[in-house]
Amino acid sequence: MERERRAGVLLHPSCLPSRFGIGDLGPTAAAYVEWLAGAGAGWWQVLPLHPPGPGHSPYSAISTFAGNELLVSPDLLVEDGILGEAEVADAPDFPRAWVEFDAVVPYKTALLRRAFDRFTERRPAGLAQQLEAFRQRHRGWLADYALFRALRDSRGRQAWYEWPPELAARRPEALEAWRESHRDDVAFAEFCQFLFFRQWGALRDWARELGVRVFGDVPIFVSRDSAEVWARPDLFLLDAEGRPTVVAGVPPDYFSATGQLWGNPLYDWERMAGDGYAWWVSRLRQTLETVDMVRIDHFRGFASYWEVPADATTAVHGTWRQGPGRGFFDAVAAALGDLPLVAEDLGEITPDVIELRKGLGLPGMAILHFAFSPRPRSSFIPYNLERDLVVYTGTHDNNTSVGWYHDDAGEPERDLLRRYAACSGREVHWDLIRLALASVCDLAVVPHQDLAGLGGDCRMNTPAVGDGNWRFRITPAMLGEGIQARLFDLIETYGRLPEGRRPPPGPDPP
């Protein structure tokens, strides 16, 4: 992997401004990429781009191949001629600062259905040819996903394992009969995927043109209620009825005294090794066609993972099991070539995890919110950092830096930070941003909430809390020239500026 000194910003597309209730891949996303380029950022980090399941978490998606159709831009559908200006002019008065999913989902679904009906009636030649090419290119996953999605939506988003047995068990005659009687619904699901990947591809091309690369995210596990578990139960540790025998989680840690019981089915790693991890090869190939670099969430699970009995109510009483290790990455690299991966190696990290990451030559992660425990000193304190790390002020799972300083950190941590950074804490978010950008790490990433100096009520996710997450959105005021100029100045000062970038217009940074 190429090593260069760069900076990035973390913000999921759903967080962008939009009059349609949720950020999308249209004009405001293109403008955000321009803003990042003007700020000197070389990377835009996003969360998984898949369609979320219950709780709206992108880490609990109903497919690990499909894209989130809620991110499709109505404005771009107007440009395509499959929606009219009047049809998008009367959008409801959605909240500007958060996503109201209960209102957004039916509104955007209805818009997409209207676009599909218009497309079906008119069959514009260019789009029709592109759709057919898309179907052919993605036939390895698209047919299963579209059938799964149509079935799931027709049953009020009911989980597949609650469907009638003949559908849950994928009996061929039952599936074919259902597909035949619901052709439009299946075609609609394919159409939504076509729109997502068409718009995302155009946005990524624009980012590349401006010198901004996209840093994506692959969760190690997939949701039980997903097209992949439904279509390929042989890859998971399930019983004859499709129920997990054991599930994923992590033991008690910084985030939760009882651990985190994720509930994802665990892989049958032995079965996967038998075909050279073909499913994973397909998954990573698809991802790397979508983004330029990938964070492997819960990397430690490839060394060893926490196995919890399926009937457990917490993750306390689990067992460490051996993961697939180096053999997995060698098999994937043999199929795909050099892998631009970053290992999310947070939590309880044992020597085998460090050995695996170092042996593969993968960057790890460091979080400054965890850096200022006075005794013992943290490995994340800036003087302990190394080049082969991606340093963050905080991630989507952390509080904002202002929230952390005022609500989470103890006085000993605050005191050490103030002494270390020679600061008062009045602008703690910029103090931590400066420390991250000044560090020796090749890549420093800052959540946009920290650039805007937002409090804990604006965090993206609170681990182990089921409700109220993934709703944050930025407003135009958080994209001000002053913030952009200040970030550019720090990026340039600490040697992270891509060649050819020029300062943004506007006021000088303070």
- The 10 Å CB-count burial string (b at 16+, else e) for 102-141 is eebbebbeebbebbbebbeeeeeeebeeebeebbeebeeb
**Rounded distance between C-alpha atoms, residue 71 and residue 78, angstroms:** 15
Q: Is 234 a catalytic residue?
A: no
Q: Which of 321, 317, 322, 410 lies closest to 369, judged by CA? A: 410
Question: Can you spell out the DSSP letters for 475-492?
Answer: -GGGG-HHHHHHHHHHHH
Q: Which of 66, 62, 80 lies closest to 26, judged by CA? A: 80
DSSP state of 214: E
Question: Considering 225, 228, 297, 388, which one is annotated as catalytic?
Answer: 297
Question: Considering 225, 344, 345, 431, which one is annotated as catalytic?
Answer: 344
**Rounded distance between C-alpha atoms, residue 367 and residue 397, angstroms:** 11
**Rounded distance between C-alpha atoms, residue 77 and residue 475, angstroms:** 23
Helix, strand or coil for residue 34? Answer: helix
Both tokens of 257, joined, read 């005294």
Q: Is 467 a catalytic residue?
A: no
Is 401 in contact with 393 (CB distance < 8 Å)?
Answer: yes
Maximum alpha-carbon separation in the chain: 71
The number of C-alpha atoms within 13 Å of 506 and in the hemisphere containing its C-beta is 19
Whether the link from the prior residue into 351 is cis, omega within 30° of 0, is no
Helix locations, 384-423, DSSP H: 401-403, 411-421
**Rounded distance between C-alpha atoms, residue 460 and residue 449, angstroms:** 9
Strand pairing report for 319-322 and 260-265: unpaired
Q: Give the total residue count for the chain.
A: 510
Residue with tokens 């035949």: 180
State the CB neighbour count (10 A cutoff) for residue 392: 28
Helix, strand or coil for residue 308? Answer: strand
Both tokens of 134, joined, read 């898309």
9 residue type, one letter: V
- Signed CA dihedral, 127, 128, 130, 135: sign only: positive
Q: Is 297 a catalytic residue?
A: yes
Strand pairing report for 293-297 and 213-219: parallel
Strand partners, 215: 45, 293
Question: Considering 24, 69, 144, 397, which one is annotated as catalytic?
Answer: 397
**Rounded distance between C-alpha atoms, residue 404 and residue 412, angstroms:** 13
Catalytic positions are 297, 344, 397
